[in-house]
Amino acid sequence: MRKIIAKRLLESKLTLPHSYMAIEIEMDSLMATRGKFNDQNKSKVSVNDLVIKAVAYALKTVPEANAYWTEDAIKFHPQIDVSFAAATPSGLITPVVKDVNKKSMLQISSEAKDMASRARANKLMPEEFTGGCTSVSNLGMFDISEFIAVLNPPQSTIFAIGSTKAKAFPDGKGGVEARNVMRVSLTHDARVVDGAVAERLLAALKQGIESPALIFM
């Protein structure tokens, strides 16, 4: 498995024109909504589940980014399937939550937890960790504030999710106030997703997370 991972990473870095962009996203509204949602539903929807849903919202808002490169043409995905990085004893694997934009938060959370558990036990079927339109790699739970992820070909985007930390902002009254902020780095294949599209994609992600009603609908 490590040989396969090494081969794919080297292929990705040597053959795909990686480009990078980052954004800061305020998390207070999302965390408050998550707490109320979990209390009402007696659930444990995670931040990663919410990010997966927000990424799907971003791809739906900016459909030009939901595409991949071929030698003949840029092709568009007919649906929104989001991969997420899951650590296993043998290395990282990327289970895929399919049709994310059409599923409820509870469905996404249940599927992601089930696939992550089976990934660690080496019980995923091949079709459950191949494909996907984009990937989410989340290291926020390990207190990693920011990092850059390598593209997972043929995907043209991957979102690297850092930890949420308090940051001082002007309060409009001459003082400061603390808000919780998460930093997200986007790696994109510049052949498919140029700088303008990447900026719009991150702006849509920020909108979905900072206005959580948009992704809980």
Please determine, for residue 187, whether its predicted confidence score (pLDDT) is greater than 90. yes
Average pLDDT, the chain: 94
Q: Across residues 164-188, what is the average pLDDT?
A: 93
Please determine, for residue 136, whether its predicted confidence score (pLDDT) is greater than 90. yes
Please determine, for residue 77, whether its predicted confidence score (pLDDT) is greater than 90. yes
Residue 84 region by backbone torsions, left for phi larger than 0, else alpha for psi between -120 and 50, else beta: beta
Q: What is the pLDDT of residue 18?
A: 96
Q: What number of CA atoms fall less than 13 Å from residue 42's CA on the CB side?
A: 0
Evaluate whether 65 touches 82 at the Cβ level (below 8 Å).
no
User: Which percentage of the chain shows pLDDT scores above 70?
Assistant: 100
Residue 122, SS3? coil
Q: What is the pLDDT of residue 91?
A: 81
Cα dist. 53→10, 18, 87, 102 in Å? 29, 24, 20, 10
Nearest one of 125, 153, 122 to 10, comparing CA atoms: 153
Domain with 26, as residue range(s), is 2-216
The model's pTM: 0.94
Q: What is the pLDDT of residue 159?
A: 98
Q: What is the pLDDT of residue 164?
A: 96
Evaluate whether 157 touches 65 at the Cβ level (below 8 Å).
yes
Q: List the CATH number of the domain containing 89.
A: 3.30.559.10
Q: Number of structural domains, the chain?
A: 1
